[in-house]
Structure 1
Amino acid sequence: MDTLFWRLKDENLLPRKYFEVDFPMIVARKIHNIKSKPPLSKPIMESHSGDSLLIDSHSLDSTRYSIVGADLRFSSDLEEKLKKHNLDIQLPTLLVAECVLVYMTPQQSADLLKWAASTFPVAMFINYEQVNMTDRFGQIMIENLQRRQCNLAGVEVCRSLDSQRERLLLNGWEAAHAIDMMKVYSFLPQADVKRIEALEFLDEKELFEQLMQHYCICWASKDSSNLGLANITF
């Protein structure tokens, strides 16, 4: 139920086109919300230059926004649907995955990363998910999720920051970096940190730090146009 498209539009920061991909059942729910809530549908119409929106039960396509129901484990089906909605693979492209790859087997996530690296000549891939999952804290996280019938099929790739980087480099990306979320937190402007920490009293700082050390941001790039993507960092 991400709202990034609407926030980017409010800030006049929309890319040429914004694509979302999720399972068809989730996409159907989101399309229903978009159609039934004017604050969601109006920005899409405002940025649409065609005669009418292309909508069915599992996809919505407009000039600047598209949402597609697909299974990321099957990249050929995914590519066909994206191209049907006018994906331009020649444009510099940012791909973002938030706790997605960890639910695939290592082979399935490798196939997806290879597809992305071979499809987009100029691109950056950003991945947010678990890391350092072989220590005691990580094992407790896995056990808690398993008790809720939630299987992390790709957790073996989340051993370390190095294993996260290696996965990207081994699957066609030219440069890759990874840092844990505690490091990210330390980079935030101190004014933001004070505002965040004032919202709710944090009495378990050690637990917070442990949790942040078990999630990471990884990013990788391909840059046939020499835009300097490999130099982008925190």
Structure 2
Amino acid sequence: MVDLPGVAPLSPLTIILAACVGLAWALTRGGRGRPRWPFYRPVALLLTWTLATWLARGALQAWILQPTRAALGPELPYDGPARIAYFGELALRISWHFALLAAAVAVFLRRRAWWAAAAWVAVSAVLCWAYPGIRGENQARVEAIIGTIALLGSGWAMWRGYRAAVLPVPSHGAMGWILATHLAIVVAVEWGQNPRADWSAARLVTGVGFLGLLQYQVRKLRGQRGRTSPPDRESPTSAR
């Protein structure tokens, strides 16, 4: 969700996220007397992608980028193989925003948003090409703009779904919680005076957001038990 320097790949935040991933797929696939919720799949995919990118970025940071940065110092840009690793870490970092937008479109509008993947590749290529001209604080502001656009697009998808009277399902509540967490991070951290100086607020907001989502999914999983099929009011509308 956000860049969290100093947070190990297997930190409490990552463990909480992994628990959210497991519950999301349990809700999606059903079993043991619980119905399948295929409409919850975009949430499960979003959380899975987030976990995978956190682990991959943590490995790149721990094994390549942090040792190289310690050797180069704070001013010099990455070069050689370290620059390639940085480009990979950058692409994974900003992928969250595009994955969030694609998931919101899938949940609220029942549409696939393959164009979000193309936009991610294009924006990543531009940012990598612009390096080292755009880095540090300038890079942070660019990422804040990307996050804001993704948030506005997701809000638009939610509004369009509401206007189209799409029947509410539990995936709407999960995405609403995720979007609220992302909004708090964008406002409080990414558009702050020095977004890379102190990430304690981002850690707190992210932890509270995922804990709330975990509790929400636990309640929904308990509510599934004993059902043989999802009730009509929780059935998604047909794909458009």
Same fold (TM > 0.5): no
TM-score by length of 1: 0.22
Bigger relative contact order, structure 1 or 2 (CA pairs below 8 A, ≥6 apart) = 2
The structure with the greater share of residues assigned to helix is: 2
